[in-house]
Structure 1
Amino acid sequence: MSQTAKDLQSEKLLYTSHVHTQGGRDHGIARSNDGQLEVKFSPPGSGRPGTNPEQMLAAGWSACFEGALDIVARKRRITVAEDPTIDAEVDLNYGADGFFLRARLNVSLPGIERHTAQTIIDEAHKICPYSKALSRSIDVTVSLI
């Protein structure tokens, strides 16, 4: 999808993350330039210290999605009494075309009527930058639990 000159003129850069990674998913380490992030990587199920890219994606998406939920609730003037909870799942799969991802969010909005909660979740999925990026490239599901 290409952007028009008008679209580019209306954009405003809010933040750029800078992370240096060396060693990859099997034995790597990633560090942010501001010192706020330092993560060791290890293969899933290896028992070695560290996380993996799928866990990092699940954490980033779920945190971003919670922010989108807050924006939607405030816009609709809905008070969320308790923090939403989100269980994120990211699958690493292998098929005929090689490796691919599949991802799910299971969202709980305590104290909010089910129909209203579903509306908030649907709108949050439309505005969350992670949801937009992932939905365009992999199979994603966002469910109210």
Structure 2
Amino acid sequence: MTTKIQTVLLTGKTHTTPSHREGAPRGDERVDIRMSIPGKADNEIVLQAIQLHPTAEQLFAGAWSACYTGALGVAAKAKKVALPADMAVDIEVDLGQTGGAYFLQARIDVRMPGVALDVAEAIAHAAHQMCPYSKAVHGNIDVATNIVAADALAA
């Protein structure tokens, strides 16, 4: 059973995109982290806009986002759907308080331009079923998933 947060104390945010290119841009106020998917040659995930001294919530969001992005690729392949090159996953993890207790909650935005909304939702749901981070938090924290796909972009 999850508990609703009354006061958000801080939020860790990540923006994750799959990348198949060498090198990742680096900025003065952020750290871009390159991660790879185990067992996949030449397939990396780039975490962008991470603060120079990230919080635990941001690191958790980053690890979850990288794992979930990989799971989206596996789920799409199983459904014989090509993910768009500009697909992205944004995860925000809040640390909050209710009474004297501390809790986490999360929001996930999955961006799949050019993919029909029902297909994108099915892929996102399947990815949650296989991503170890999604499974670990299921039923333990509030998680809201928002899909932005072709149908939503046209509106």
Aligned to 2:114, the other structure's residue is in SS state coil
> 1:61-86 deviations in whole A, cap 9, x for unaligned?
11111001000111111112314201
Aligned to 2:135, the other structure's residue is in SS state helix
Kept in 1: contact 2:84–2:112 (CA 8 A): no
TM-score in terms of structure 1 length: 0.63
Q: Distance in 1 between matches of 2:53 and 2:125?
A: 33
Aligned to 1:68, the other structure's residue is in SS state helix
* Alignment-mate amino acid for residue 142 of structure 1: T
Is residue 129 from structure 1 mapped to residue 136 from structure 2 by the alignment? no
Q: For residues 71 and 143 of structure 1, do their structure 2 counterparts lie closer, same or farther at Cα, with a shift above 3 Å needed?
A: same
Is residue 144 from structure 1 mapped to residue 147 from structure 2 by the alignment? yes
Q: Distance in 2 between matches of 1:127 and 1:97?
A: 34
Aligned to 2:89, the other structure's residue is in SS state strand
Kept in 2: contact 1:65–1:128 (CA 8 A): yes
Determine which of 33, 45, 51 is the counterpart of 2:54: 51
Is residue 87 from structure 1 mapped to residue 90 from structure 2 by the alignment? yes
Kept in 2: contact 1:101–1:139 (CA 8 A): yes
Kept in 1: contact 2:110–2:145 (CA 8 A): yes
Q: Distance in 2 between matches of 1:97 and 1:117?
A: 39
Aligned to 1:144, the other structure's residue is in SS state strand
Kept in 1: contact 2:71–2:127 (CA 8 A): yes
Once the two structures are aligned, what percentage of the paired residues are identical? 38
Between 1 and 2, higher relative CO (CA 8 Å, sep ≥ 6) is seen in 2
Select the structure that is richer in strand: 2
Kept in 2: contact 1:65–1:124 (CA 8 A): yes
List structure 1 runs of 4+ shifted beyond 4 angstroms: none
Which 5+ residue runs of structure 1 have no aligned equivalent? 1-46
Q: Which of these two proteins has the greater Rg computed from alpha carbons?
A: 1
Partner of residue 75, structure 2:
72
Deviation of 1:112 after TM superposition, in Å, equals 0.8
